Structure 1
Amino acid sequence: MAFRGYNKLKVLVLDDFDSFRMTVAKMLDSFGVKSIDTASSGEEALRMCQGGSYDLILSDFNLGAGRSGLQVLEELRHRGILRKRDVFVLVSAETSKSIVLAATDAEPDAYLSKPITARALQQRLDRVLSQRDQLQEVYKALDNGDVDTAIHDCYEKINSGHRLSGFCQKILGELLLEVNQLDEAEALYRSVLEIRSLDWAQLGMAKVQQLKGDLETAERWFKEVVEQHPLCLKAYDNLVEVYQTLEAKDAMQDVLMEAVKVSPLALLRQEKLAQVSATNGDFETSVRAYRKVVRLADKSIHKKSSQALEFAHSLVRLGEQDPSAAKDVHREALRVLDEASTNSDDAVYNMQSKLVQAQLLSQQGNTKAANQILDSFRQTLNKLEEPVPLEVELDFVKALGMTGVKAEVKDRLNELSVRLKDDEEGLKKLDQLLDEPMSKMNRKLVAKINKDGIKNYESKNFKAAISAFMHAKSLFPNHVGVRLNLVQSLLGEMEEYGCERELMDEAIGSLNKVTESIDAQHPQFKRFRQLQEIHRSLVLRNA
């Protein structure tokens, strides 16, 4: 259906090449458009959009060194500049699957591949703009925040058999979910699915069950959508929400890993994967995801200095688990932290950033540079009238421990333990640095993991026991009991099935770690010595 209102449109054409802007402007002029502005960069386009709204924005995906067209779309939406009735069209010469999926994931109103002809452009614009024109009452109500009127208008068009009634059903379902009219939404989606199995209706039905609290049914529906429509990325996101409510963190990570395989350029999804995998103790996955986050965040509205810090934190934890896996990433993390600090005026963040840099330098073996940072931080502490935030204290203690300042570490941990004795959330953070957790939640968690691991050990299912204690070690790297349980399980596996190099190295690593914090007065010192002897005997036997 031809669109008749081109002469009333205000249009912005965004591309870094003059020739393309001129070509598209001429095409639009031939359609009857009278008001055409152009911009050569994302930054310029954002300034222009702030100065006045556009009915139609045509943007290239790749805009050179600045923001991409996709980032412009995200920022316009995030800042509430783009109205519901406005049309945003992405144009791109990119043909890679990841770029195309990133573009469709952002849901522009249309996506066109270069080169484009006047005929192809007009056909696509006719379709999108005619749809907007016929539903102008609905979009006007939404722009005014009048959801009830928008719902009423959708019902009217559906009941009258309007040619866009199917599209109105999709809008109506989303609005009913927004205002929590769940029974009405469920009836709508059922009526659609009785005729045709559409992904958006299946997704809506799953969302209804999720909001009603029937998580088992919601999970089943979302899984079905993912299976039947693997490019429907909202289904992955909603499934993650279900598992988050169920506190099924491993399942959350599995779904997120599948989602980023489908669309690897989605920054927020990568960030969620990085956070969840770090919580699960899978720091290799966390570091890999945070590296992508830091790169994708450049020029994005979703860029935060904390992303660089969490990237470095995960890398330090990975270095504790597997120094060889972290080694090649240290330089990149140090550069990212330095850049973030340079662009930040947050004093707390900058202190924390320096302390994490000290940790990374220690892992590199550059203790001289690490100690220079620590000396400078001590001087800063002496000048401050108020105590620094807990996160800064924890990074300071960690850096001290990594540079071998054991006495100062012990004193500061004792001070923090006393200060936080009634602060459960603070204790949960402190637990990472303690030999034994102090928070109620982490004591229960360690007890459960130990119970499961010991049960597997006693039934000679050593691999399962090792897996349980490895997970516990990733969460509580200084926990003496967990380390010794892991060593005992490794020794059981080696005695039963032979001394593999990987198992021996893991046992040596854990015994060496325990050596750093145990003495003759420790209640597990005798057991530690016994495990050392068993390990030594196994090594000699297999020499």
Structure 2
Amino acid sequence: MAVENDYRDKKFLIVDDFESFQKILKRMLHGLNVKDIDTATSGSQAIRFCEEHEYDVIFSDLDLGKGPNGLQMLEELRHKDILKHSCIFIMVTADSSRDAVVGTLEYKPDAYMNKPISPGEIQSRLLKCIKQKDNLKPIYTALDQEDFDQALMLCEQEITNKSRNKNWCLKTKGEILLNQERFDEAEQHYQAIVEERPLFWARMGLADVYLAIKKFKQALNLYEECYSENPASLEAYEGAAQCLVSMGNTKGAQSLLERSTTISSRSVKRQKLLAEISRMNNDYDTAAKASRSVVRLAEHSIHENAENELDLADSLSEAALHTKERELKKAYAKEALNTSQATQKKYANQDIKIQAKLIESRAYASSGDDANAQRALESAESRIDRHGTHTLRSQLELAKSYLQTGHKDKGFALLKQLAQEYKHDKAISQRLDKLVDEPVTAQGREAVVKINKEGINLFERGEYQAALDSFSEAVQFFPKHVGIRLNIIQALLFDMKKSGPAPEKIALCKQHIEFVDHIEGGDKQFKRYQQFKNTLEMLQKHGQKETS
């Protein structure tokens, strides 16, 4: 057990880029009988020290100047299993903004302190943390050794004995079961706690279980309950967004994630998810903005990689292609070119260079520069001839570039070849089908026939909302499928014919019309598209008359 004012057996590390603060904190710790103290002036130096020594307590500033910040350092130490569970990590910062506080707490340091700090405050926090760590040392040791059955048994003993750490053990038990994918046990565990007392963390845990076992509606209800109760619960917004995507409501998912980034914008994972979902919604402006955040936030972290820069260049190229504002188109295309060219210089890997060159060709094409688009495409093809393509992404980028630069036959031929090559891989088949208006995989074609049959049967029985739900779920897997989009519009129009025009349904119709407004007169679906577009315009005029 720790004795007050006696930390002589503990090894400390202070991480701060200001030596003056290091000295102040060191002096305070000496006053608490701390004898063994190391200091680091950067996140990189601190990570090296942690690789060489085992620390009991780490005090770190959030902003550490160049290199990894305090959060990135903590994340890397955990990711590499350098930091033992028994180590106390205390974040100390002068930044008291909501973005910093909420973003830091999401990483779950053992304590969070605002500068300036006093010796009494340090003593109080240290004593509390060390007491808990010492009391639960056998559990932390089991977790460090990845002996999860032992950790569960020890947690159960603490729970049965009703120790002062009972709640921590209940929470830890749930996390272990969830991380070990023992979902039945995790569900029973969290359900029992919620029935006795609806603790916030237990409801979040139960929602995470429901999400994992694909009970999306139950998970969504709990996540919504949690973020309504605690608007700063970023994990609840993210979980709810994942549920909505799985239920086909990508617009709702994007809206939730955008809301969460106004609370704290520091999560690479959440910004990446926002970019991905925005692309599903053809909202390339938001995708580009989120992708910029990913590149900026990932720098110096475990998340830094070429994929982030390629995704940014791709989002910018798509934004340039789809915007109708001339100046904005030029700006997006220029940034896409700069990003793709910088990526080619930064990375030696030939596949990355090829992918960036292919995105460069699409950036030129997006701005109407067909000559340079063709030159960039030919340069990429030349590299492929010399070095080959070793990744699926390179082949997908090539197919996309063929489709956008006027080589549709080559693009479809390559996609069909990939569909055959990856016919037993459901995830890759879905990625291929998302690139084109009609599925190129056998799985995709069969799925569309089945979905359309089910939806049309519901529609013909007058169950318009059920038909709409069926088609909306399908759009998640086939976002460019014109027929499914038109079926959604038809279900909405007939539903409004039955129950009267509704602004939210008119808005949804408009969104889907915009998704398919690229089809031309020779397309087999053009007549339906034109008919539905005219009907929608009449409904909008009718609605305007009623409100005037």
TM-score bracket, shorter-length normalisation: 0.7 to 0.9
- Alignment pair present for 1:306 and 2:307: yes
- 1:46-445, aligned counterparts within 5 Å? 46-179=47-180, 185=186, 189=190, 192-193=193-194, 196-210=197-211, 214-243=215-244, 245-246=246-247, 248-324=249-325, 325-367=328-370, 369-383=372-386, 386=388, 391-396=393-398, 398-399=400-401, 406=406, 409-413=407-411, 415-416=413-414, 419-420=417-418, 422-423=420-421, 424=423, 436-440=438-442, 444=448, 445=478
Q: Distance in 1 between matches of 2:60 and 2:522?
A: 54
Compared CA separation, residues 6 and 340, structure 1 to 2 (3 A) = farther
Q: Distance in 2 between matches of 1:191 and 1:427?
A: 40
The equivalent residue for 1:453 is: 489
**1:493, CA displacement in angstroms?**
5.0
Q: Deviations over 1:189-242 (max 9, x none)?
A: 456546654211222333454556644333322221121122222333333444
Q: Distance in 2 between matches of 1:335 and 1:349?
A: 15
Please tell me whether the aligned partners of residues 356 and 395 of structure 1 are also in contact (alpha carbons under 8 angstroms): yes
**1:259, CA displacement in angstroms?**
2.6
Which of 508, 511, 518 is the matching residue for 1:467? 511
Q: Distance in 1 between matches of 2:186 and 2:429?
A: 44
After superposing the two structures, state which structure 1 stretch, 335-344 or 183-192, moved more.
183-192
Please tell me whether the aligned partners of residues 432 and 477 of structure 1 are also in contact (alpha carbons under 8 angstroms): no
Q: Distance in 1 between matches of 2:439 and 2:119?
A: 67
Compared CA separation, residues 198 and 468, structure 1 to 2 (3 A) = same
Aligned-residue Cα RMSD (Å) equals 3.4
Q: Distance in 1 between matches of 2:68 and 2:110?
A: 19
**1:335, CA displacement in angstroms?**
3.2
Q: Deviations over 1:269-288 (max 9, x none)?
A: 11011112212333232222
Q: Distance in 1 between matches of 2:395 and 2:181?
A: 44
Please tell me whether the aligned partners of residues 318 and 366 of structure 2 are also in contact (alpha carbons under 8 angstroms): no
Compared CA separation, residues 477 and 182, structure 1 to 2 (3 A) = farther
| Amino acid aligned to 2:274 | L
- Give the 3-state SS of the residue equivalent to 2:357 in structure 1: helix
- Give the 3-state SS of the residue equivalent to 2:17 in structure 1: coil
The equivalent residue for 2:44 is: 43
- Give the 3-state SS of the residue equivalent to 1:65 in structure 2: coil
**1:3, CA displacement in angstroms?**
4.3
After superposing the two structures, state which structure 1 stretch, 145-154 or 52-61, moved more.
145-154
**TM-score (normalised: structure 1):** 0.79
Unaligned runs of at least 5 residues, structure 2: 449-477, 542-548
Q: Deviations over 1:72-117 (max 9, x none)?
A: 0111111111111111111111122111111111111111101111
**1:19, CA displacement in angstroms?**
0.5
**1:128, CA displacement in angstroms?**
1.0
Please tell me whether the aligned partners of residues 315 and 326 of structure 1 are also in contact (alpha carbons under 8 angstroms): no
Q: Distance in 2 between matches of 1:254 and 1:483?
A: 31
Compared CA separation, residues 112 and 330, structure 1 to 2 (3 A) = farther
The equivalent residue for 1:520 is: none
The equivalent residue for 1:10 is: 11
Q: Distance in 2 between matches of 1:435 and 1:217?
A: 33
**1:17, CA displacement in angstroms?**
0.7
Please tell me whether the aligned partners of residues 3 and 127 of structure 1 are also in contact (alpha carbons under 8 angstroms): no
Q: Distance in 2 between matches of 1:393 and 1:189?
A: 45
Answer with 1 or 2: which has the greater Rg: 1
Compared CA separation, residues 433 and 241, structure 1 to 2 (3 A) = closer
| Amino acid aligned to 1:80 | D
Q: Distance in 2 between matches of 1:427 and 1:181?
A: 29
Please tell me whether the aligned partners of residues 308 and 333 of structure 1 are also in contact (alpha carbons under 8 angstroms): no
Q: Distance in 2 between matches of 1:473 and 1:114?
A: 56
Q: Deviations over 1:132-178 (max 9, x none)?
A: 11111111111111222222222222333322223222223323444
Compared CA separation, residues 182 and 275, structure 1 to 2 (3 A) = closer
Q: Distance in 2 between matches of 1:20 and 1:333?
A: 42
Q: Distance in 1 between matches of 2:353 and 2:11?
A: 45
Q: Distance in 2 between matches of 1:78 and 1:186?
A: 27
**1:331, CA displacement in angstroms?**
3.5
Compared CA separation, residues 367 and 226, structure 1 to 2 (3 A) = same
Please tell me whether the aligned partners of residues 435 and 480 of structure 1 are also in contact (alpha carbons under 8 angstroms): no
**TM-score (normalised: structure 2):** 0.79
Q: Distance in 2 between matches of 1:31 and 1:216?
A: 52
Q: Distance in 1 between matches of 2:140 and 2:354?
A: 48
Unaligned runs of at least 5 residues, structure 1: 499-543
Compared CA separation, residues 323 and 159, structure 1 to 2 (3 A) = same
